[in-house]
Amino acid sequence: MSVKLFQFAVSHYCEKARWALDYKQIQYESINLVPGTHIKTIRQLADKSLVPVLDHDGHVVQGSASVLTYLDEQFADRPLTPEEPDQKTAVMAWERRLDELAGPAVRCYSYHHLLKRPRLVVPLLAAGKPWLYQWGMRLGFSRIEEGMRQWMKINDRTAAAAQVTMETILTELAEAYRQNPYLVGNQFTRADLTAAALFAPLFQPARYPVPWPDQKRLPADMQWWLNKHETLLAPLKAMYEQYR
């Protein structure tokens, strides 16, 4: 059996897929790509340029949610999707909302601040690649920053809106975890995995395969926000530490 995961090491959506593969104890090969130059590789596999992309013995699945569904269908052990219909509906609703709102908000907010510090962000973008990639990215960083901001619509206005979205969803998640150990039912599901994976860049877990910068080196306003919302991030950090 051959399982390959085409990914950005820094991507929190790719972390969803990695976590699911590891949780199910599936052996796989990570193919680390660099944003921008990844397009040629991914377009040879799938219609869109987004990652993650899973290749299982030639069967290609694109997108983190689709990957999780496929893994539960093909590898029954340690399921992440409940069988009970109401619980399944609730889990999928949480995942869809997190994917559509939280994931883009965390990405926009984080890159808006980190792109101002090339020495911090280049090692994240080039994680898993030879040092020459970092060298090349440093040389052309102004174009990389411009391209990423344009591609992902990152600016002062969108970053401010992303911050509000993150705070709203984190408050909802914290309240849900105060009432129950899991978002749905009495076991760990893809909803919990998605929440912890997509917010992971904000609490920087050690098991994430990128060289996180020292928080003291982060932009001051980003440090302030993280310190202020540490309590809201705590349930997700605990979920990550327990199940990752």
Please report, for residues 27, 62, 80, 92, 155, the alpha-carbon distance to residue 69 in angstroms, rounded to integers and kept in the order given: 17, 11, 9, 10, 34
For residue 22, the model assigns a pLDDT of: 98
Does residue 69 carry a pLDDT above 80?
yes
The mean pLDDT value of the chain amounts to 95
Q: Binning pLDDT at 50, 70 and 90, where does residue 132 land?
A: confident
pLDDT at 36 over 80: no
CA–CA separation, 180 vs 131, rounded Å?
45
How large is the average pLDDT for residues 152-166? 97
State the Cα–Cα distance between residues 133 and 126, nearest whole angstrom: 6
Q: Which of 3-7, 41-45, 119-123, 197-201 has the lowest mean pLDDT?
A: 41-45
Can you tell me whether residue 7 is helix, strand or coil?
A: strand
DSSP, collapsed to helix, strand or coil, labels residue 213 as coil
Which band of pLDDT confidence, cut at 50, 70 and 90, is reported for residue 44? confident
Highest mean pLDDT among 48-52, 123-127, 190-194: 190-194
At CA 119, angle to CA 114 and CA 125, rounded to 5?
65
Mean pLDDT, residues 167-195: 98
pLDDT for the residue numbered 180 = 97
Region 68-73: what's the mean pLDDT? 98
Cα of 115 vs its chain's centroid, Å: 17
Could you report how far apart the first and last alpha carbons of the chain are, in Å? 24
Whether the pLDDT of residue 128 is over 90: the answer is no
Residue 85 pLDDT: 98
**37 pLDDT more than 80:** no
Residues 6+ apart with CB under 8 A from 81: 68, 69, 72, 88, 91, 92, 189, 190
Q: How many CA atoms does the CB half-sphere of 12 hold within 13 Å?
A: 26
Strand partners, 59: 56
| DSSP state for residue 84 in the 8-state scheme | S
Please give the pLDDT value at position 88.
98
Q: Counting runs of H as helices and runs of E as strands, what totals does the chain give?
A: 12, 4
Q: Which domains does the chain have, with CATH numbers?
A: 3-74 (3.40.30.10), 85-243 (1.20.1050.10)
Judged against a pLDDT cut of 80, whether residue 10 lies above it is answered with: yes
Q: How far apart are CA 19 and CA 10, in angstroms?
A: 13
Q: What is the structure's pLDDT at 201? A: 97
Q: What percent of the chain has pLDDT over 70?
A: 100
